[in-house]
Amino acid sequence: MPKANNNKKVKNTDILTAGSKAYAKKRKRKQQTIERVEFDPDSRKEYLTGFHKRKVERKKKAQENWQERLRQEKIKDRAAIKAERKRQMEQRLADMQAALKAGLSDDENDDEEEETVFTDSEDKEEEKEQEKKEPDVKEFKSSSALTTVTVIEDMDDWNNND
């Protein structure tokens, strides 16, 4: 059997009772710190009769928290919908601007092709007479519709035919 110390022998009873001595010291300290216990009948009654009240209070608080959470979710949903609508509107606006730029560049090219220059004053007079007789037709293009406008300036021809 091995020995713990050659000089000192430890008794078995000392080893077994060492824990009880430590607990005895702790119990002694606790007894010294507590001077006296006061009994309050009002606080006892409040504690015993307040179980239902505290339970109802907890339920009410949980319900308020739930309502607040729902309100915050609705706010987030509305913000998301608003952001989506704004993004769609910006996309439509960009598409319309691109279509208008494309439409204007086509119209400008058409105008340049149809443009003729007269230098003779007699030709200008003949042109003015023809313009009076022929109606002025303009077309306006958009992404969804084509609108044609006819302008007739000289109404005398219609009145003379009657």
Q: Is 81 part of a structural domain of the chain?
A: yes
Euclidean distance between CA atoms 25 and 14, whole angstroms: 16
Domain of residue 94 covers 40-111
Question: E strands, 16-152, where?
Answer: 136-141, 146-151
Domain count, the chain: 1
Residues 67-77 pLDDT 10s: 999 999 999 99
How does the average pLDDT of the chain come out, rounded?
Answer: 78
Question: Residue 66 falls within a domain, yes or no?
Answer: yes
What band does 1 get if pLDDT is binned at 50, 70 and 90? Answer: very low
> Once rounded to an integer, what is the mean pLDDT over residues 30-37?
70
Angle of helix 41-49 relative to helix 51-114, nearest 10 degrees, comes to: 50
Contact 137, 110 (CB under 8 A): no
Under DSSP, is residue 91 helix (H, G, I), strand (E, B) or coil? helix
Judge whether 105 lies within some domain.
Answer: yes
Q: Name every residue whose Cβ is closer than 8 Å to that of residue 153 and which is 6 or more positions away in sequence.
A: 131, 132, 136
Residue 2 lies in a domain: no
Q: For residue 100, is pLDDT > 70?
A: yes
- The amino acid sitting at 6 is N
Determine, yes or no, domain membership for 67.
Answer: yes
Mean pLDDT of 99-124: 61
DSSP code at position 4:
S
Specify the pairing of strand 136-141 against strand 146-151.
antiparallel
Tokens at 6, concatenated: 């050659």
**16 domain-assigned:** no
For residue 21, is it within any domain?
no
In a domain, 6, yes or no: no
Nearest one of 161, 159, 135, 139 to 149, comparing CA atoms? 139
Instruction: Judge whether residue 111 has pLDDT over 80.
Output: no
